[in-house]
Amino acid sequence: MQKNAPIGIFDSGIGGLTVAHAIKAELPNEDLIYFGDTAHLPYGDKSTATIQAYAIKIADFFLQQQCKVIVIACNSASAAANELLKEYVASRATIINVIEPMVDYVAAHHANQQVGVIGTKQTINSNIYANSIASKKVGIRVSSLATPLLVPMIEEGFLHNNIAQDIIQKYLGDESLAHINSLVLGCTHYPLIKEELNIFFEGKVDMLDSSIITAKSLKEFLAQNNLLNGALAEGNNSFFVSDLTESFKHSAKLFFGKPVVLQKHQLWE
């Protein structure tokens, strides 16, 4: 792997842009290639086999771009395809997902607490957070809740209105989350509504944002393995999607402060 090789980041839609934005903040000199699989969103209600098939095709695309790291910026894909992708890319690239850094962070900073996890059906039904946190044996009690309407709500732009408030209150008012000390935002879309989630809990619950934690973990990995891009200039950002959508284009502009050029790349010809 070359130091100046790009970093590939993928998600089913706009959620992974939270991860891309956090990575850019931590690693401004790195070249980033983002792939939004907008033709197949959301991943949260897809089968494991289907998500794996998408992930392999996206990995092929990143390998063609000679990426040194592939970041799975999606909890559903991290739960379904992480181990498969690690085997598939082997020594050609390194796979980093958004779940493992979060689990390590929770174990290190929230021992003996009650931690809530919200995510898609795929992520929650996999029990990957509950099982992985339990394996750390630090006395953490995990309360998991599937919140499937949040992703389409965010993708459709219902972020700061009564519809969003009603859906958030319906989910977060669930009894399973009544006594949590912190909340894992187990979907990379959810940082986009972090303010609303914080308001619901009246600032009394720590919001654990996987985009920020993953970006810091990636920076640490690159430094430890002598893979940081040594360029002095700011790195390039490239955006690819499997289907061109105005909502993605608008969201990318909001995150990166300027219009972005979207390139279409179909996973299957």
Is position 67 annotated as part of the catalytic site?
A: no
Of 187, 197, 212, 215, the active-site residue reads: 187
Beta-ladder partners of 36: 11, 241
48 token code pair: 């494991």
Neighbour order of strands in the sheet with 206-209: 141-146, 114-119, 182-186, 206-209
Of 69, 72, 74, 117, the active-site residue reads: 74
203 token code pair: 């600032």
Q: From CA 199, how far away is CA 187, in angstroms rounded? A: 19
Q: From CA 194, how far away is CA 197, in angstroms rounded? A: 5
Q: From CA 207, how far away is CA 173, in angstroms rounded? A: 16
CA angle 147, 148, 152 (to 5 degrees): 125
Whether the CB-CB separation of 104 and 42 falls below 8 Å is answered with no
Amino acid in the structure at residue 100: E
E strands, 18-58, are 32-36
Q: From CA 24, how far away is CA 39, in angstroms rounded? A: 25
Q: From CA 195, how far away is CA 92, in angstroms rounded? A: 39
| Active-site residue list | 74, 187
